[in-house]
Structure 1
Amino acid sequence: MSDRLTRLRKQMADTGTDLVALGPTSHMRWLSGLDPHGDERPVMLLVSAGYAGVLMPSLNADSARAATDLPFHTWADDTGPDAALGELLASCGATGAGLSVAVDEAMRADFALLLLDALDNPRRSFAADTVGLLRQMKDAEEYEGLRASARLNDEAARAAFAALEEGMSERDVQAIIQAHYKANGARPEFTIVGFGANGAYPHHHTGETRLKRDMAVLIDTGCRLNGYPSDMTRCGWFGTPDPEFTKVAQVVEDAVQAALAACKPGALARDIDAAARDVITAAGYGPRFLHRTGHGLGIDIHEPPYITATATTELRAGNVFSIEPGIYLEGRFGVRLEDIVILREDGPEILSGLSRAIVTSP
């Protein structure tokens, strides 16, 4: 935590930020280890150049203290948070006019307004250029956690494809995957299983559709292991693959390869998206690529950087994000192949060890 706080203060100095204000969100968890109970009672972590402290309801203070050595400025239901917040701002030296304040994007609006109303004509921004930017640069601990979660995800997906039988439902496959997570100390984050035409809906709700011969199978799934998530999509065919399915799968794999080749420090996120999208468009399936090429992954399963057609984010070594192009043929099938990569100085390292080759079942 001390290293992250030091890095944050340097970033604050570089961006001219006087005060960073974080709510009970993943920003707070990343910086301090605190993951306090979140309800309507104001909680916030304030950081200035010389002080960091937490506005904390006294109701929750004892249970939260084990997570951090930061000082708490507590308040009770019968007195309200105003006095405690004033003391915290004074400790931070945040009493002058026109301070530059970076507010947590995910903080409750009423918490943010409570803070801003207590300041004298502050200059407001979001925390994207301070905590948000630092969170995109994964350290060794985060890398190891994400990699371990990815490898467990591999095992679960492999077990699911191996268990496919005619007549089983999408929910049956989902249960196999999630049982594997739980048996290995993880909790399910999400599991999408799409049989046949259901795979053509990128965010299909796993249901009671039954597996039949000559049917496509799409599995997009992730767990959370020791606090770190995973996310990966693989596709298969139950029976003898349809020739167009085989063609589409190869186009999507080619798009993945093109995007990976474009992943270099200094590249813009939109260039990665274009590399994948151009392959799919050239093959005649451009309108059937329905979403962005990727998203960041860290404490949150979706976080910056976002790999979109319009994103001008300059990618840096240490960024972790997905590469997941797809082609969706309504009424027939969908193919999406997704891997999480960490960007190294010499290019992307894929966290999964599972082949993207289409899984065929006899």
Structure 2
Amino acid sequence: MPGAALQENARIADAAHIAIRDALRDGITERELVKVAKVRFEADGARFAFGIVGAGVHSAFPHHLSSDTPVRTGDAIVVDIGGKKDGYFSDITRMSCLGHPPEGYQEVHDLVDAATKAALAAIRPGVNARMIDKAARDVIDAAGYGAFFTHRTGHGLGSEIHEPPYLTGNNDLVLEEGMVFTVEPGVYLPGQFGVRLEEVAVVTGGGCRILSTLSRDLLIA
């Protein structure tokens, strides 16, 4: 069953996030943390599909290519990872900080979490996909950070890592029960840090359920 496979993939991704968090230390590189995730996915019988680990100013690049940059105390760290097992994908993003977070970080983290909650609350059958994007974007716009939310709110997830429905401001597609997609608003402050929080949501008869059981709260290592 697709639902069971997607749920299992989310569990595996959560475990990989925890493995990365356990490995955080001053001097470990972004690429080394990606490798930690790869090993964890493979230990659970999944194929590692991708890994974005961006530390410090690199977290402000939504599609950062992980490098040999070391993590330093005080860095905000974005971790966006996914794998594939039994024909289906995972895709989950969480935030960590090594030591005390940068100035202003918690305010932005709380804002992105509020946008995520607003988008999730807007999901139900019969709603246009663009309304989910609008729900997230309205929260960020109202706080004055709209110019720093630079990508769509989400994308379909299943047998492909990116597939319909796409949560964009111009997609009138009507959501139906059983659809699966990511919800991943973000705020990216160049030269400082970025925050993205991502859930995989399944449309239900009365709203949605999310597949990850990992808290969106900031993890301080």
Task: Please report the TM-score for the alignment, with normalisation by the length of structure 1.
Answer: 0.61
Task: Tell me the equivalent position of 1:216.
Answer: 76
Task: Tell me the equivalent position of 1:81.
Answer: none
Task: Tell me the equivalent position of 2:52.
Answer: 192
Task: Tell me the equivalent position of 2:135.
Answer: 275
Task: Tell me the equivalent position of 1:91.
Answer: none
Structure 1: which 5+ residue stretches go unaligned? 1-140
Rounded to whole Å, the distance in 2 between the matches of 1:214 and 1:267 is 41
Is 1:158–2:10 an aligned residue pair? Answer: no
Deviations 1:241-296 (A, max 9, x none): 12411000000000001001100110100100000000001111000000000000
Q: Which amino acid aligns with 1:256?
A: T
Rounded to whole Å, the distance in 1 between the matches of 2:85 and 2:154 is 21
Task: Tell me the equivalent position of 1:40.
Answer: none
Task: Please report the TM-score for the alignment, with normalisation by the length of structure 2.
Answer: 0.99
Deviations 1:63-118 (A, max 9, x none): xxxxxxxxxxxxxxxxxxxxxxxxxxxxxxxxxxxxxxxxxxxxxxxxxxxxxxxx
Q: Which amino acid aligns with 2:185?
A: P
Match of 1:309 among 143, 150, 169: 169
Is 1:181–2:41 an aligned residue pair? Answer: yes
Which structure has more relative contact order (CA 8 Å, sep 6+)? It is: 2
Deviations 1:152-189 (A, max 9, x none): 10000011012101000001100100001111111101
Rounded to whole Å, the distance in 2 between the matches of 1:263 and 1:281 is 20
Rounded to whole Å, the distance in 2 between the matches of 1:313 and 1:174 is 35
Match of 2:117 among 240, 257, 271: 257
Secondary structure of the 1:266 match is coil
Structure 2: which 5+ residue stretches go unaligned? none
Match of 2:106 among 224, 246, 249: 246
Deviations 1:15-59 (A, max 9, x none): xxxxxxxxxxxxxxxxxxxxxxxxxxxxxxxxxxxxxxxxxxxxx
Match of 1:225 among 82, 85, 104: 85
Rounded to whole Å, the distance in 2 between the matches of 1:284 and 1:236 is 24
Give the number of the structure whose alpha-carbon radius of gyration is greater: 1
Counterparts in 2 of 1:278-357, with a 5 A limit? 278-357=138-217
Rounded to whole Å, the distance in 2 between the matches of 1:180 and 1:248 is 30
Structure 1 segments, 4+ long, off by >3 Å, are: none
Secondary structure of the 2:104 match is helix
Is 1:235–2:110 an aligned residue pair? Answer: no
Secondary structure of the 2:26 match is coil
Match of 2:67 among 207, 210, 217: 207
Rounded to whole Å, the distance in 2 between the matches of 1:296 and 1:351 is 14
Rounded to whole Å, the distance in 2 between the matches of 1:345 and 1:204 is 36
Rounded to whole Å, the distance in 2 between the matches of 1:226 and 1:156 is 18
Is 1:146–2:6 an aligned residue pair? Answer: yes
Please, what is the CA RMSD of the aligned residues? 0.7
Rounded to whole Å, the distance in 2 between the matches of 1:184 and 1:273 is 33
**Alpha-carbon deviation of 1:346?**
1.1
Rounded to whole Å, the distance in 2 between the matches of 1:216 and 1:186 is 28
Rounded to whole Å, the distance in 2 between the matches of 1:287 and 1:257 is 20
Secondary structure of the 1:279 match is helix
